[in-house]
C-alpha cells in the first residue's frame, strides 16, 4: 500500500548530523511515510550511514547521484514521489516527533491550502526561534507580497501537496531558487502556519548567504543583483501577479544592498547615504553594520557608529546604544497602528507586529513600514476568542529571536516615553536592572460624539487621567529576563523585587479608544479563552458586558484605580425553563417567526424558545444564535443615542453568547438571516450539531464565510460599535 507522505532528504557530507535527522523521522508519531535519501556524491561517511538505515527499514531508500546535482538534488526526490504529500528534511536538521502528525492533520483539514509549516527554531542551547513563519493567507497577490517581504528559506520545508510542489519547482538553477519555488507554490494556494515548534534547523548567517551571491551570474554587473535571475524567470513564466511586482523590486534592492555590503564593502560605504535615504534596511541597522565591521576586520574600512578594530586582535564590535525592539500583538488595529509605529521610530525603537487575523488594513499598514521602522510581521489565524496565554507564548518566542538587549511588550494603544527628552535606547544605556516601571496615564473621550482622528489623536486627546494600580506595569525589560512572573501575571510584571526595577520610571500614555463608540466596540465584542478566565484574567473586561459605557465629562476624577467610564446596569439575568429543546437568540421577533416557519415543516415536534434579552441566559441547552446585518438598525430611524443602544446590544449579546458557549461547553451555532433566505444554510447539519453534539472546530462559531454581505447605509455610530464582530461574520 502506498504511503501518504514522501520525505526527501538531500544530503552532501552530512555524516556528523545524518543519524540525528533520520532518527527524528523514525520517531514520528505518524508512521505512514517513505524516506528517500539522495546523496550528492559525498566524500565522507554519509552514504554508509544512510545505507545502514535503508537496510534496517524498507521504507527508507538511498540513491547516489552520478554527478554533482546541487540544487537539482532537491528536485530528484520530489520528481520520484508518488504520494499525496511531500516534505523536505535537510540532512543537518531534525523534527519533533509530532511534526508529521500535526502537519498532515492541518493539510487534511484545509483543502484550499498547498502547504503547512510549523514554527521552527535554530539548533542551540537554548534553541532560538526562527522568525517570519507567520500565516501566508489572503488572495494570491497578498500572500506573495507577504512572502517577498520576508522570503526566508525555512518556508520550503513545510509539508506540501506533491503535485503543487512538483509544478512549482524551477526549470533552471540559480541563486535563491527556493524563493522562485515558494512564489510559484503560493500562487496556487496559501501556506498555513502552526504555532507549535516542531522543526529544528542549523543556522546560517545572512553574511554567508550574501557571500554566495557571487555565484549568481557570470556577468559582473548582474552579480550585484543576485536575484535578478529568479526574478526574470518569474516574469517569463508569469508566475508572479502584477500587484506583487513592487515587492519583488524591493527585494531585489535589499539583496543588492546585502551583496555590496559583503562582497564589495568599499562600494557599499560610498553608497551608504543613498541607501539610508531610500530606507534600505541594512544601512539603517546598527547591529548589522557591527557584524559587517567584524566580517571585514582585516580591511581598513570605517563603518559608521562602529569602533575601529585592530585586525591582529580580537574584533570589538558594538553600537552606540543598546538595541530595543517593541513587540505588539494586535487585531483590527488600523486606527492606532500608524501612530504606534511612528512613535517608537521616533523613540529609536523598531517594531515587530504580530497580527491575529485582522479583517481591516492592519497588515497592509504594517507591511508598508516593513524594512524601515517595522522589522518583522508575523501573521497568525484568529479562532474566535481572545487567547492571551497563546499570545504571550508566541510573544516570548519572538522576544528570544531578537538580537537586541531590551524589548517592549506593549499594546497598540500604549505609548511609552522616557523623561528628559531621551530616546528609549538612551534611557536604558547605563541601566543594570531587569525592567522599568511605568506611570500610566489614561486618555479618554469625555463626552458622546467626541471623535478623534487616527492621524492626530495624540494631540487632540490631551486630558489624561493618572491610573493608580497596585503594581505598576513593566512594559520595558531585558530580553533575557526570566518570564515566569510575566506569564503568570498576563504580561503585566517581570519581577516583584524592587532591586530588579530601575528607579527612573517611564511614562505610559494609554489611549483607550478614539470615541466612546470605539470603546464600546472593543469592550462589548471581546470573547475570552476559557484557560485565561480560569487564571482570573480579563475579569474587568468580561464584566464590561454588564455595564454601560458613558461619557465622563462631569465625573472624571484626577486619579483612578478603575476605568472611569463604566456605569452599572440593572438588567436582570433570565433563567430559561428546562422544557425547551433549543434556545433561539434573536434581536427581532420577526426573524424568530421566519426561522420558526422555516423549521416547522422540516422538523415537526422541534420546540424553540425565543430569547431577546441582551443578557445571554444561563443554560446548558443548545443555543442557536440568529443574526442579521447590524445595518438594519439604521432603518429604525431612531436618534443617534438610540442607535448606539441598539448597536451595543447587538455586539454585547453576540460576544456574550460566544463567551457563554466557550465557558459552559454549550452546543452553540450562529446563522445569518441572509444565508437562510438565500438557501445557503444546511439546517439539518446545524441541528445535528446542536442536538447530537457533533464535533465543531470553532465551538459552533461560524467564521471565515465565503459570502460577504454588504448593506447600505452602514455608518457610525452603528458601524464603529459593531464592526469587529460584524467583519467576523462577513458583514461589510
Domains and CATH numbers, the chain: 5-201 (3.90.550.10), 206-284 (no CATH), 324-533 (3.90.550.10), 582-728 (no CATH)
- Asked if 726 and 629 touch (Cβ cutoff 8 Å), the reply is yes
- Whether the link from the prior residue into 514 is cis, omega within 30° of 0, is no
DSSP assigned state of 372:
T
604 pLDDT exceeds 70?
Answer: no
Q: Comparing C-alpha atoms, which of 383, 117, 141 is closest to residue 241?
A: 141
Please tell me what DSSP assigns to residue 528: B
Q: State the DSSP H helix or E strand holding residue 379, giving kind and residue range, or none if neither.
A: strand 374-380
Mean pLDDT (whole number) for 297-326: 63
CA–CA gap between residue 466 and residue 57 (Å, rounded): 68
pTM over 0.85: no
Q: How confident is the model at residue 32 (pLDDT cuts 50, 70, 90)?
A: very high
Condensed to tens digits (0 to 9), the pLDDT of residues 61-90 reads 999 988 887 778 888 999 999 999 999 999
Rounded to 5°, angle at Cα 276 from 272 and 281: 105
Residue 337: band (very low, low, confident or very high) from pLDDT cuts 50, 70, 90: very high
pLDDT for the residue 307: 57
Q: What is the mean pLDDT of residues 321-345?
A: 92
CB distance 97 to 207 below 8 Å = no
Q: Is residue 694 scored above 70 in pLDDT? A: no
Task: Give long-range contacts, CB 8 A cutoff, 24+ apart: 46-50.
Answer: 46/11, 46/12, 46/13, 46/14, 46/15, 46/18, 46/91, 49/15, 49/18, 49/19, 50/11, 50/18, 50/22
Place of cell 486606527: 335
Q: What is the pLDDT of residues 313-327, one digit of tens each?
A: 433 333 456 899 999
Query: Mind listing the pLDDT tens digit for each residue in 463-502?
Result: 788 887 777 899 999 999 999 999 988 999 999 888 999 9
φ, ψ of residue 553 in degrees (nearest 5): -60, -35
- Strand locations in 404-467, DSSP E? 406-410, 414-417, 435-436, 438-443, 465-467
Cross-strand partners of 454: none
Mean per-residue pLDDT over the chain, rounded = 82
Of the candidates 57, 60, 52, 63, which has an alpha carbon nearest to the alpha carbon of residue 11? 63
Spatial neighbors of 474 by CB under 8 A, at least 6 apart, are 435, 436, 437, 438, 492, 493, 494, 495, 501
pLDDT winner (highest mean) among 213-222, 272-281, 409-418, 656-665: 409-418
Instruction: Map residue 607 onto helix, strand or coil.
Output: coil
Which three-class secondary structure state does DSSP give residue 20?
A: helix
What's the pLDDT at 334?
93
pLDDT grade, residue 702 (50/70/90)? very low
- Per-residue model confidence (pLDDT) at position 85: 97
In DSSP notation, 287-340 reads HHHHHHHHHTTTS----TTS----TTS------SS--EEEEEEESS-TTTHHHH
Instruction: Write out the three cell numbers for 71.
Output: 540544487
Amino acid at each position: 500500500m502506498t504511503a501518504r507522505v514522501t520525505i526527501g532528504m538531500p544530503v552532501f557530507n552530512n555524516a556528523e548530523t545524518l543519524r540525528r535527522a533520520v532518527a527524528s523521522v523514525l520517531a514520528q508519531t505518524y508512521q505512514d511515510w517513505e524516506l528517500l535519501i539522495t546523496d550528492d556524491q559525498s566524500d565522507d561517511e554519509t552514504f554508509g550511514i544512510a545505507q545502514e538505515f535503508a537496510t534496517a527499514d524498507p521504507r527508507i531508500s538511498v540513491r547516489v547521484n552520478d554527478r554533482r546535482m546541487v540544487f537539482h538534488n532537491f528536485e530528484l526526490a520530489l520528481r520520484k514521489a508518488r504520494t499525496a504529500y511531500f516534505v523536505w528534511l535537510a540532512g543537518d536538521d531534525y523534527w519533533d516527533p509530532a511534526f508529521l502528525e500535526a502537519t498532515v492533520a492541518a493539510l487534511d483539514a484545509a483543502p484550499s491550502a498547498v502547504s503547512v509549516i510549523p514554527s521552527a527554531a535554530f539548533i542551540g542551547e537554548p534553541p532560538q526561534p526562527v522568525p517570519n513563519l507567520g500565516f501566508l493567507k489572503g488572495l494570491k497577490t497578498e500572500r506573495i507580497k507577504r512572502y517577498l517581504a520576508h522570503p526566508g528559506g525555512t518556508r520550503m520545508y513545510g509539508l506540501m501537496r506533491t503535485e503543487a510542489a512538483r509544478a512549482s519547482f524551477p526549470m533552471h538553477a540559480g541563486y535563491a531558487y527556493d524563493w522562485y519555488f515558494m512564489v510559484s507554490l503560493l500562487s496556487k494556494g496559501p501556506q498555513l502556519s502552526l504555532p507549535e515548534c516542531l522543526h529544528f534547523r542549523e543556522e546560517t548567517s545572512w553574511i554567508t548567504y550574501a557571500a554566495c551571491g557571487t555565484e549568481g551570474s557570470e556577468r559582473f554587473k548582474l552579480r550585484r543583483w543576485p536575484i535578478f535571475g529568479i526574478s526574470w524567470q518569474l516574469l517569463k513564466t508569469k508566475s508572479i501577479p502584477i500587484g506583487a511586482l513592487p515587492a519583488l523590486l524591493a527585494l531585489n534592492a535589499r539583496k543588492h544592498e546585502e551583496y555590496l555590503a559583503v562582497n564589495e564593502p568599499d562600494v557599499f560605504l560610498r553608497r551608504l547615504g543613498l541607501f539610508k535615504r531610500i530606507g534600505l534596511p541594512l544601512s539603517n541597522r546598527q547591529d548589522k553594520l557591527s557584524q559587517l565591521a567584524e566580517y571585514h576586520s582585516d580591511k581598513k574600512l570605517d563603518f559608521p557608529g562602529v569602533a575601529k578594530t585592530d585586525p591582529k586582535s580580537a574584533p570589538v564590535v558594538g553600537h552606540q546604544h543598546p538595541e530595543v525592539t517593541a513587540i505588539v500583538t494586535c487585531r483590527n488595529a488600523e486606527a492606532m497602528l500608524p501612530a504606534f509605529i511612528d512613535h517608537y521610530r521616533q523613540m529609536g525603537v523598531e517594531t515587530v507586529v504580530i497580527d491575529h487575523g485582522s479583517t481591516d488594513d492592519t497588515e497592509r499598514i504594517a507591511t508598508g513600514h516593513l524594512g524601515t521602522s517595522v522589522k518583522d510581521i508575523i501573521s497568525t489565524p484568529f479562532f474566535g476568542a481572545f487567547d492571551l496565554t497563546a499570545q504571550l507564548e508566541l510573544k516570548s518566542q519572538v522576544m528570544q529571536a531578537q538580537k537586541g538587549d531590551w524589548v517592549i511588550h506593549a499594546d497598540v494603544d500604549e505609548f511609552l516615553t522616557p523623561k528628559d527628552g531621551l530616546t528609549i535606547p538612551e534611557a536604558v544605556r547605563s541601566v543594570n536592572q531587569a525592567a522599568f516601571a511605568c506611570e500610566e496615564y489614561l486618555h479618554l473621550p469625555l463626552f458622546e460624539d467626541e471623535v478623534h482622528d487616527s492621524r492626530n489623536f495624540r494631540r487632540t486627546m490631551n486630558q489624561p487621567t493618572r491610573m493608580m494600580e497596585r503594581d505598576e506595569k513593566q512594559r520595558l525589560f531585558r530580553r533575557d529576563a526570566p518570564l515566569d512572573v510575566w506569564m503568570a501575571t498576563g504580561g503585566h510584571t517581570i519581577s516583584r523585587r524592587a532591586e530588579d526595577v530601575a528607579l527612573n520610571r517611564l511614562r505610559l500614555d494609554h489611549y483607550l479608544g478614539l470615541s466612546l463608540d470605539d470603546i464600546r466596540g472593543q469592550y462589548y465584542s471581546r470573547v475570552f479563552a476559557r484557560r485565561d478566565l480560569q487564571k482570573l484574567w480579563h475579569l474587568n473586561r468580561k464584566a464590561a458586558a454588564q455595564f454601560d459605557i458613558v461619557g465622563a465629562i462631569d465625573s472624571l476624577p484626577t486619579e483612578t484605580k478603575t476605568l472611569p467610564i463604566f456605569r452599572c446596569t440593572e438588567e436582570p439575568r433570565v433563567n430559561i425553563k428546562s422544557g425547551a429543546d433549543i434556545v433561539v437568540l434573536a434581536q427581532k421577533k420577526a426573524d424568530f417567526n421566519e426561522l420558526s416557519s422555516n423549521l416547522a415543516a422540516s422538523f415537526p415536534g422541534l420546540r424553540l424558545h425565543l430569547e431577546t434579552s441582551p443578557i445571554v441566559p444561563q443554560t446548558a441547552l443548545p443555543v442557536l444564535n440568529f443574526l442579521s446585518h447590524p445595518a438594519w438598525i439604521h432603518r429604525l430611524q431612531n436618534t443617534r443615542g438610540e442607535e448606539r443602544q441598539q448597536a451595543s446590544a447587538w455586539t454585547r449579546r453576540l460576544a456574550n453568547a460566544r463567551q457563554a458557549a466557550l465557558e459552559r461547553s454549550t452546543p452553540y451555532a450562529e446563522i445569518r438571516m441572509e444565508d437562510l433566505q438565500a438557501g445557503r444554510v444546511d439546517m439539518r447539519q446545524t441541528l445535528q450539531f446542536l442536538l447530537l453534539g457533533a464535533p465543531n472546530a470553532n465551538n459552533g462559531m461560524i467564521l471565515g464565510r465565503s459570502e460577504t454581505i454588504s448593506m447600505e447605509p452602514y455608518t457610525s455610530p452603528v458601524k464603529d460599535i459593531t464592526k469587529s464582530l460584524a467583519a467576523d461574520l462577513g458583514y461589510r
